[in-house]
Amino acid sequence: MVTSADKSNIYLVGGAVRDRLLNKPIKDRDWVVVGSSPEEMSKAGFRPVGKDFPVFLHPKTHEEYALARTERKTSRGYHGFAFSTSPGITVEEDLRRRDFTINAMAESKNGELIDPYGGQRDLQLGVIRHVSDAFAEDPVRILRAARFAARFNFSIADETRTLMEEMVHNGEADALVAERIWQETELALGTASPQKFFSVLRECKALGVIFPEIDSLFGIPQNAKWHPEIDTGIHTLLVLEQAALLSERIDVRYAALTHDLGKALTAKREWPSHKGHEQKGLALVEQLADRLRLPKRLRKLSRVVCEFHLHTHRAMELKPTTVLELLEACDAFRNPNEWQGFLLACEADTRGRTGLEKKDYPNADFLNSLYKAAKSVDGGAIAKQLQNGEEIAEKIRVARTSAIKEAQSEY
């Protein structure tokens, strides 16, 4: 139901309205105040927190209340935008500055829905649609469109996809800074369908600008015997999809995304084989991590998954010394969580192939049994027998190798 706004009202806006209509839990509530001023808000006990535009915290709930405002792009102001507020600005005008119709709805204090741009309709259709042409003034909205598509498994409206592609063509995506790219990407990786984030970016030609290392995988063939999907880019998104099904961990999902970057460096004459792609991919993994300024835990897991994922696929053939080298590379003895994340990403790699999504992965259980055997070695007891640190380390390695060998024979 669409109603006109009462200019002296307070409205629930944005995500809370959207999520209520979707029957999803509401995490945060934001409010817009129409017909007031900063002075009146302060007199009512609200605490100002916004520097570039007036936002206030409720004295009891501490929820954010913003004065209704309009915006325009400028070289100054908050993220390049200047905001205007006045008691005469309506809630509909405030909603018009928002990115998508599904986020441009408000609810009055008596429960009436203010929906001037068709957000409720687009929720029912499962569509991400921009509110106005002002969408093109902020390139972060390209990432947000892809993220919301991944979050709700929605499609992008044709006109919005066209506008996003025009923005990319006009160089808007080139202006995106690393912090904002990673902020949106991290949120997208945490959604139920993170692979959709990257497929949407590819559809609007933004993937090649923002994530060229991933975009370059599309069109690279693999051996159909092992990869029925053939295309490496498609395989990468299938692996990410499987990682999301296996784990909620962002580091596991990111490592799954970047595990095959080295295949883009294979010479065409060697296709569809990709011998040595694990080592070749390390430089690209580091390059992408540096550009995005990734946290250490994501850097580390993505690197070991890239370098050693084929070891897990050949687990039954590995020598005891190689198994120990793998465990040490994954820091398994000091950080078991890292080791389990590694195995999850490798399992996603196996399942991320057309028709093999439900394939069992006994290799993980096998390697875990070897890990437990090696971990059972009492390093403390060995240390008590020796004085030299190097001798202690070597003695522990020998004992762990022996334990692995015995466990292999018994498995």
Q: How far is residue 35 from each of residues 75, 225, 290, 299, measured CA to CA in Å?
A: 28, 67, 47, 49
CA distance 177 to 185: 12
pLDDT per residue as tens digits for the range 230-239: 999 999 999 9
pLDDT per residue as tens digits for the range 115-127: 999 999 999 999 9
More reliable by pLDDT, 189 or 411: 189
pLDDT per residue as tens digits for the range 259-288: 999 999 999 999 999 999 999 999 999 999
Task: Characterize 237-248 residue by residue with b for buried, 16 or more Cβ atoms within 10 angstroms of its Cβ, and e for exposed.
Answer: bbbbbbbbebbe
SS3 32: strand
- Beta bridge partners of residue 70, listed in sequence order: 84
pLDDT per residue as tens digits for the range 327-356: 999 999 999 999 999 999 999 999 999 999
The DSSP output letter for 80 is: T
- Beta bridge partners of residue 221, listed in sequence order: 231
Which domains are present in the chain?
10-126 (3.30.460.10), 139-210 (1.10.110.30), 214-410 (no CATH)
Given a contact cutoff of 8 angstroms between Cβ atoms, the answer to whether 94 and 17 are in contact is: no
Average pLDDT on 374-390 reads 83
